[in-house]
Structure formats: C-alpha cells, structure tokens
Chain A
Amino acid sequence: MPTWRKSRSVLPGFGLSMGYTLVYLSLLVLIPLAALFIKASGLGWAAFWQTVTDARVVAAYKLSFGASLAAALVNGVFGFLVAWVLVRYTFPGKKLVDAIVDLPFALPTAVAGIALTTLYAQNGWIGKLLVPLGIKSAYSPLGIIIALTFIGIPFVVRTVQPVLQELDRETEEAAVSLGAYRTRTFVKVLLPQVLPALITGMAMAFARAIGEYGSVVFISGNMPFKTEIAPLLIMTKLEQFDYAGATAIAAVMLIVSFVLLLVTNVLQARTQRKLLAG
C-alpha cells in the first residue's frame, strides 16, 4: 500500500481522485489477486508442491517458458530489424507497415489463433510448403512459437523504435570521423545504445507470451506432455472443478510474471535515465 504525504498544492481533488483510485484498484485487482494467493496458501505446502511438481504440470511450464523464450528471441531479431527498417530507410508503403505493426495489440487473440492455425495446418498455405521439408508447424511446439511470436511483435518494435529515432546521428558521425566503418559503428556505437531497449522489449514480449492463451489453444493441439501450455492446464483443471490445482499452477505463474514485471520496469527506468543523461 502506498503511504503518502501530500505536499501542499493549490489544485483540488487529491482526496477524491486518490481515494477512488485506491478503492477501485483494491476491489478489482488487489483483492482478487490476494484471494488467489490466500487460496493457494490454504492448500498447505505439501499439496501445493505435489501439484506444481506433477510431471504434466512441469512439462507445461517447460513448454510455456521455452516457447515464450524462443518467440522472444525471434522477435528480438526480427523486431529489431523491423524497427531499424522503419526508422532508417524509406520505401513505398512505409506508413502502412508502421501502422500494421500494432495489429497484434488490436486483433483479438482468438481470431489470430484460428487464422494462424488455418495458415500453418498441413493443408494451409504455409503448412503445405513446410510438409515436404518434414516440418510440422501447427499442432506442435513450433506452432506455439509461431502464435507467441505473433503476439510479441509490437512489444519489441515499439520499444526499440523510439530509441532508434532519438539516437544522436552525430555519435555515428563522430565514429566515422574517427575512422570507423559501418559494421564497427553499428556494433560498437549503435547497438550498445539500443540494447537496453531491445532487452526490455524482449522481456515484455516474453512476459506476455507466458500468459497467452487465446491464440495458442487453436494452433497447439493441446496434447498433454507435448503441446499443453500452462494457462491451458489451468483451464483444464477448472473444467474438472479442481480449483486447488488450478490455483497452485496459477500462483507459480503469477510470481514469475510479477518478477518479470519488476525487471522490465527497472530496465525501462534505466533506459529512460540513460536517454535523458548527456
């Protein structure tokens, strides 16, 4: 809970707006989340541990984290490339491309899920091309990575893009006048300045991917031990009225997510400080 001491201000409405904020926040977010942890602690340590170390649950965690990491890495590479191309080059249709990067923020995940599944299924436009190569994309871990990559695209692009934009062209010129050619300038001067933003974007994409449900359930095939992600397992437990199991799995995921949120916040604050400083 925030403790505060309001400094004297001529503006009115602190009590009202702050009070409303805290009540609303508590009722809708803090109390429900607390309920989950209270419920989880009510399980007892042994039962909790048994649930979350169950082989099927562990397999789901591994898949969720592994696929999310893979998707974040893919987005790290291609998201950086897209941001670079959008900031540095001119080409026809650039504005449209820039606008469409946000599509995963605006498109409901269920729609993304069925569309990607149709594309990458064995008889889909892309799936068809992959079958002769012996690659099964939909209904496999690869399919999950594809869906999670879709979800994460804007995170990396939109954190890297402004940093690239604000980069001082003069530091590049300074490197050039000191004798550095393009590759060295990129690796030694540009990349280090963008790296914090890139990592922040990847961390955000990763955090989002861990919890993602809608786009994945369609494409994954949902096979226990093989393509069953953690959020889906929570859903399954709920449908079986196993509230305790669902709560335990959720508690672990929540803790991981909170740690990630904290890390990205710290990273972001640091990036901003660096941007502001000389």
Chain B
Amino acid sequence: MAGAVPAVSAARGQCAAVHAADHLTEHAAVRWLLIGIALLFLGLFLILPLVTVFVEAFRKGAALYFAALREKEALAAIRLTLTTAAFAVPANLIFGLAAAWAVSKFRFRGKQVLLTLIDLPFAVSPVISGLVFVLLFGARGWFGPWLSEHDVKIIFALPGIVLATVFVTFPFVARELIPLMQAQGVQEEEAAATLGASGWRIFWKVTLPNIKWGLLYGVILCNARAMGEFGAVSVVSGHVRGKTNTIPLHVQILYNEYKFTAAFAVASLLVLLAAVTLGVKSFIEWKHHQSAHTGAEESGDPI
C-alpha cells in the first residue's frame, strides 16, 4: 500500500495538470509566458551549446570530421578513456553493491556518518581529487621515492588516471542503490533466508531483480562521469600525447592549439555519450513509471 501512494498521487497530479480548474492555475497568458521564459533559459544554456558542438565540428565538412576522429592520437585517447572506465566502473559497482547491502540490510551505529563519508567525493573539487593522489604517489609525494625505486609509475600514467577517476565517481552507484534498497526493506530477503536460501542465492534471486534498474542507472551515470572527467584526470595525467591523454584532455589540447574543428569533432563523441546516457536514463524512468503505474491500477480505485 505504502508503495502505491506516490504513484497514485502522481497520477492525480497529472490529471490535475490537464483539467486544472481556473482557480488553481495561472491565466493562460501568464502560463505561456512562464513556459516561454523557462524554455528560453534552457535553450540558451543547454540546447545552444549542443548545437554549437556539431556546427563547429562539421564546419569544414564531414571528411575533416571523420579524419579528426581517425587520427592516431584521437584513437589512443579513446582507447585510454575506455580502459579507464573499464577499471573504474566495475570497481565502484562492486563497492556500491557492498556498501548498499551493509547499509540497507543491517542496523548499526554510525550509519549516518558512513553515508556522509560515502558522499564526500561529491563535495571535493575535481582538481583536489587529483591533487591528493599527486601528494601520495607523485615524485615528491609520500610514496614517491619508494615507487621510483621499484620503478612503478602511478602519477602521469594509467594507474593514477584510474585512481583519480575512481575517486571522482566513487559515490555514484552506492548513492543510487542505498535509498532504493532501504525503501525495499529486508522482508523479502528474510523470507528467502527462512526458506533456506544461501547468501549469494538471496542476492542473485531476490535482491538483484528488485534493484536492477537503479543499478543500471547508477552504472550509466558513473560511466558518463568516468569517461568525461576532466579536472582530476588533468592533474594526474601529465598530458603525454598518445599515451596519457583521455578524450576530454585531447579535446583541450586540440582546442588550445586552435584546431577547433578537430576539438569539436572529438567533443561530439562525448556529446553522443551524454545523449546515450540521458536516453538510457529516460528509458529507465519510463520503465519505472510503467511498473509504478500498473501497481497503482492493481491497488484499486483511483477515485
């Protein structure tokens, strides 16, 4: 019942928006003025920049656009970005699942503190997120001398980039899962446990099916940020062309060298990534809305 309440009130809200009586809404002129201002604002700040990217990228024709993408350094940047995400996203996925399981299925003291600590990386400037690893592993950092003795390179190399990326994207999956799993409670899992299911079985058969959309959502956001992170990676990468440049860093270099067309061409890849991210997100919300909606109908009389 409790789960159906928001869905019902949401459905009611939509009805009200459509049939809103005169006394509960603004005059039509005011309404359209407000809609106009809101759309103008979003148009100026969100739509135009997107349009700009593609206009600039194709300014000198499609041939140059594709040439910029096929360039050796661009390909290396793409490869590095994919590699980084391939390390960072699964790492944070596993962490997110572990943290959400511990926080949502058990009661312990200090839970609020733990939740705040998990959120910490959101509050840290990307530049500082890079800086902390330079302080630890850089040439003059705590472990710098030891690392160079053993010929291990972290800063200005792939491990540093991965570390910084993991730090920046740390809370994404956990934050998505924790409220979801907390809302679902423990009853289903406890029922499975009393039926004799083992821990892994409970997780795979009971918990995971309930959280799969939230999990996908968290992963998608985590991935978008991992592939697009600029500030933190910029600090630890060293900007070695073709070696430690990710896509965003490659865009910066091209832009600073006034190769605008190439810069925007590569940037358009990241716009596509964003578009896919938003598309998947909308799809998940639509799915979620659908299941909530049928739930409301099953729960009975909406009037």
Interface residues of A (CB under 8 A from B): 1-7, 9-14, 16-18, 20-21, 24-25, 28-33, 35-36, 39, 78, 81-82, 84-91, 95, 97, 99-112, 114-116, 118-119, 124-126, 146, 149-150, 153, 165-166, 169, 172-173, 176, 182, 207-208, 210-214, 218, 230-232, 234-235, 238, 241, 243, 246-247, 250, 253-254, 257-258, 260-262, 265
Contacts and interface: CB of A to CB of B under 8 A. Distances in A.
Interface in B212-260: 221, 224, 227-231, 234-235, 247-249, 251-252, 255, 260
A239 to B, nearest CB: 10
A172, A210, A211 interface centre (most CB from chain B within 10 Å)? A211
Contact of A97 (B10, B42, B203, B228): B42
Given A10-B190, A11-B193, A36-B128, A169 B231 contact: no
A163 to B, nearest CB: 12
A100 to B, nearest CB: 6
Given A29-B167, A212-B125, A247-B135, A99 B278 contact: yes
Interface string B95-124: 101110110011111110110111111111
Nearest to B227: A108
B170 A28 contact: yes
Contacts of B62: none
Given A13-B199, A108-B270, A114-B267, A169 B251 contact: no
Nearest to A93: B39
Contacts of B135: 32, 35-36, 39, 243, 247
Contacts of B118: 25
B48 A11 contact: no
Contacts of A257: 123-125
A253 B252 contact: no
Given A6-B108, A39-B135, A108-B270, A30 B278 contact: no
12 contacts: A1-B113, A2-B111, A20-B98, A21-B114, A24-B95, A25-B99, A32-B132, A107-B271, A210-B125, A213-B126, A235-B234, A257-B125
Given A24-B95, A165-B13, A11 B106 contact: yes
A243 B126 CA distance: 16
Nearest to B106: A14
A211 B49 CA distance: 22
Contacts of A115: 49-50, 52-53, 56, 264, 267
B17 interface: yes
B123 A108 contact: no
Contacts of B128: 36, 211, 231, 234, 250, 253-254
A254 B6 CA distance: 38
Chain B, interface size category, equals 35 or more
B140 A108 contact: no
Contacts of A250: 125, 127-128, 131
Central interface residue in A33, A97, A106, by most chain B CB within 10 Å? A106
A106 B35 contact: no
Interface of B: 6, 9-10, 12-13, 16-18, 20, 23-26, 31, 34-35, 37-39, 41-42, 44-50, 52-53, 56, 94-95, 97-99, 101-102, 105-111, 113-114, 116-128, 131-136, 138, 140, 142, 163, 166-167, 170, 186, 189-190, 193-194, 198-199, 202-203, 221, 224, 227-231, 234-235, 247-249, 251-252, 255, 260, 263-264, 267, 270-271, 273-275, 277-279, 281-282
Given A35-B142, A99-B279, A108-B247, 6 more contacts: A9-B105, A20-B98, A25-B99, A25-B118, A106-B274, A146-B45
Contacts of B35: 85, 89, 91
List the 6 shortest-distance A-B pairs measured between CB atoms, nearest first.
A2-B110, A108-B228, A211-B125, A4-B108, A214-B230, A213-B231
Nearest to A162: B6
Contacts of B105: 9, 11, 13-14
B255 A99 contact: no
A207 B53 CA distance: 27
Given A28-B170, A29-B117, A235-B127, A214 B231 contact: yes
Contacts of B264: 114-115
Given A21-B99, A29-B121, A100-B47, A105 B194 contact: no
B53 A105 contact: no
A150 B163 contact: no
B9 A35 contact: no
B47 A99 contact: no
A149 B45 contact: yes
Nearest to B13: A165
A81 B12 contact: no
B16 A169 contact: yes
